[in-house]
Structure formats: C-alpha cells, structure tokens
Structure 1
Amino acid sequence: MKRNKPKYKQIIDAAVEVIAENGYHASQVSKIAKKAGVADGTIYLYFKNKEDILVSVFREKMGEFIEKIREEITKKESAEDKLYSLIEIHFKQLSLNHQLAIVTQLELRQSNKDLRMKINNSLKGYLAIIDQILKEGIEEGLFHPQINIKLLRQMIFGTVDEVVTNWVMKDQKYDLVKQAKDVHYYILNGLKSTDDKKGS
C-alpha cells in the first residue's frame, strides 16, 4: 500500500513545509519533490497531481489527529473531560507544528469548492468523535436531552477551528494550548452568568 511506504510520508511532510512557506498556488510539484529529496516523476507514483497532494496532507494529518484524540479520550470517564481532551489535543497538535497550522488554517481555505469537499470528507471521523461525546453528555445528564447534536457539533468544531486560525494570523505570538481551558469552559457554560445572586 502506497501510504505505508517511506517516500509517501517524505512527500507529505515536504508538502507541508513547501506549502506553508510558499502558499499552495506557488508550490510547484518540483519544489515539493526537491524538498522531499525525490525525483519529480516519483511524486506521480504516489499522487495524481498537486491537488491530490493537498487532500492527502489533510487526510493523513487529520487521521493522526483522530487517532491521538481517540487514544486520549478512552482514558477519560466523563463527557466533560473527553471534550476538554479533544480541544486540548487539537491545540497541542497544531502548536507543535506551525507549518501544518498554516496549511490547515490558511491554505486550505483558499482552495476551490471541489477540493474543499474532498477535504471535508476527511473531517467525518473527527466530527463523529464530537457527536459521541455529545451523546455521552446527554446520557450523563451533562447536556440537555433536546440539544441539536448536528448544530452543536458544528459550533464546537467551528469554535476550535477559529481559535487556531486567529493564533496563526497573529503569528503564533501566544500560547495556543493555554486557550483550551477557556474554550472548554465557554462551550460548556456559554455566556450566562452562574451568579445566583445576580438580579435578586
């Protein structure tokens, strides 16, 4: 299987570097090949074209995300703790790889509709984890039984995603992982005051 071969991973990692440095549109296959240390023609043994490389980058990295999140949340008992783990791991993974963060948060946003649809397919496993956490939260009585899981899932992913995008746009000048605690708190508690004395 091509995805298990060393050169496949070399090309994926090289693509992340080249696209982060040059932008997707200015990242020729020849540049990616040079960074990976392979001949131009070798790229086409693994990928159809540059678009296929970008989709594969997202699929592979998202696959790693999903694997890491699943591994960590199995160690947690409550839906609340699992949700925190998901947020924290998402932030940790991207804070450890600034170039990947640039690619996922900026370059993927500039792609055409067909490309975005292919990339969105890779998100299904990640979104399924959020769905599972929400369902467990309902069973535990943490979340209201009438919540719209599909909508709330979109809101959670959108929030986490936008926090990372803002961090990238600010040139990673602050600690992204430290944002996890507040993001988790606001997702669980929203904007409503918890002060019982308020208004009394």
Structure 2
Amino acid sequence: MNNNKPKFKQIIDAAVKVIAQNGYHASQVSKIAKQAGVADGTIYLYFKNKEDILISLFQDKMGQFIEKIEEEILKHQGADEKLKALIGMHFKQLAEDHDLAIVTQLELRQSNKELRIKINEVLKRYLIVMDQIIKDGVDEGIFRSDLNPRLVRQMVFGTLDEIVTNWVMKDQKYELINQVDEIHTLIINGLKKV
C-alpha cells in the first residue's frame, strides 16, 4: 500500500463513493479514476487492480476507525465505560460517513477468500481492543471470571456489525447513535457478575 503519495487519499475517497453508489462489481477502475479526477493510468501507480483498491481502502479507513476508537477509550475509566465508548465510536464514525458504512457493511462481504483473509488481518487490531476491555472487566471484578473472551468478542463485534448492517439496509432512516445506551446495557448485563 503506497499511501505516502499525494493522490492516494483522493483515490481511496473516490473509491468509497463509487463503490457505495454502484456496488463493488459494477465499479470499474475508470469510474473511480473519474471520481478522483485522475487519469486511469494514475490508479495503477498506486494499486495493482480493483481488489487492491478495496483492500487498501479497508486498511486505510479501518486503520483510522480503530485509531479513533483507541483514542476515545483512553479517555474513560473502567471496562464498563470503555465498552460504552467503543460502541459509541463504532456507531458515530459509520453514521458520519454513509458511503463508508455501505462499503464496510455490504461491499466488503465478498466471497473471495484471499480478500476475507486480508480484511480479517486489519480487524485483528480491533479485536485486541475488545479483548483488553473484556480482560479489564474480569480483572476489575465487574465481569464474570468464567467468560470465554473469544466468544464475548465475537458476540460484541457481531452485535455491533449486525446493527450497523440493519441500519444501512433500512437506508439509514434513523439515528444509529440513539441505540448506544440500550445495546451497552444488554451487553453489560450479559457479562456482569451476578
């Protein structure tokens, strides 16, 4: 990924818009180039092909996405509040960028195994953040000590992911952020020591 060149961000942002509007399969490199205001050939100075654009887009955008969540979590004390901050930032960032939400929730669900492996690599950093919150909650005595961290992480991520996908499928007709408290309560009640 050659993201230190000046047109990289321009092309990535154009790709998000084009893929959100047309779907991944109908998004020709030429459409992305036109949206970015660059010649078709310029795209190939940065990316090998369309799949490389999609992977680079995910690496770049999700890298920023996870970074913002990590920064927000540092402002909070205790696993309970950190988890709420994570849910809030997950929803806030996707609610603020509808095109990115469409791309992450729908267009990145490709059946291509190689693509899925690369996407999972990027997500590992996010899952580490979740694992740490779960561990903190157990260490603080807030969460049950018999939790299976991997299962909890899948449950939390799966819940957030499905809620955002549902919001995208409903044409983003309601405020995603308004669901943070309720989701946080449901998840916390499942993890808390009784």
Using the TM superposition, give the Cα deviation of residue 6 of structure 1 relative to its aligned residue in structure 2, in angstroms: 2.5
CA offset at residue 127 of structure 1? 0.5
CA distance in 2, matches of 1:120, 1:191: 25
1:55-94 pair list within 5 angstroms: 55-94=55-94
Structure 1 residue runs without a partner (length 5+): 195-200
SS at match of 1:177: helix
Match in the other structure for 1:198:
none
Percent of residue pairs identical: 69
Cα deviation 1:144-169 (Å, max 9, x = unaligned):
11210011101100000000000000
Question: TM (normalized to structure 2)?
Answer: 0.96
How far off is 1:111 after superposition?
Answer: 4.0
User: Quick one: distance in 2 between partners of 1:5 and 1:177?
Assistant: 35
Do 2:79 and 2:136's aligned partners in 1 also have CA atoms closer than 8 Å? yes
Taking the aligned partners of 2:54 and 2:13, their CA distance within structure 1 comes to 11
Shift of 1:118: 1.1
Distance 1:20 1:102 in 2: 6
Residues 33 and 43 in structure 2, CA contact (< 8 A), matched pair in contact too: yes
| Bigger Rg, which one | 1
**4+ residue segments displaced more than 2 Å:** none
Contact 2:14 2:32 (8 Å CA) reproduced: yes
**Paired residues, what number?**
193
Q: What CA RMSD, in Å, does the superposition of the two structures yield over aligned residues? A: 1.6
Which amino acid is 1:66 matched to?
A: I
In 2, the alpha carbon distance for the partners of 1:30 and 1:94 equals 27
User: Structure 1, residues 24-71: CA drift from partner, whole Å, max 9, x if none?
Assistant: 000000000110011111111111110010011111111111110111
Kindly indicate whether residue 157 of structure 2 is the aligned counterpart of residue 157 of structure 1. Answer: yes
Match of 2:40 in 1: 40
Q: TM-score, normalised by structure 1?
A: 0.93
Relative to structure 1, is the Cα distance of residues 117 and 12 closer, same or farther in structure 2, using a 3 angstrom cutoff? same
Residue pair 2:20, 2:102 contacting (<8 A) in 1 also: yes
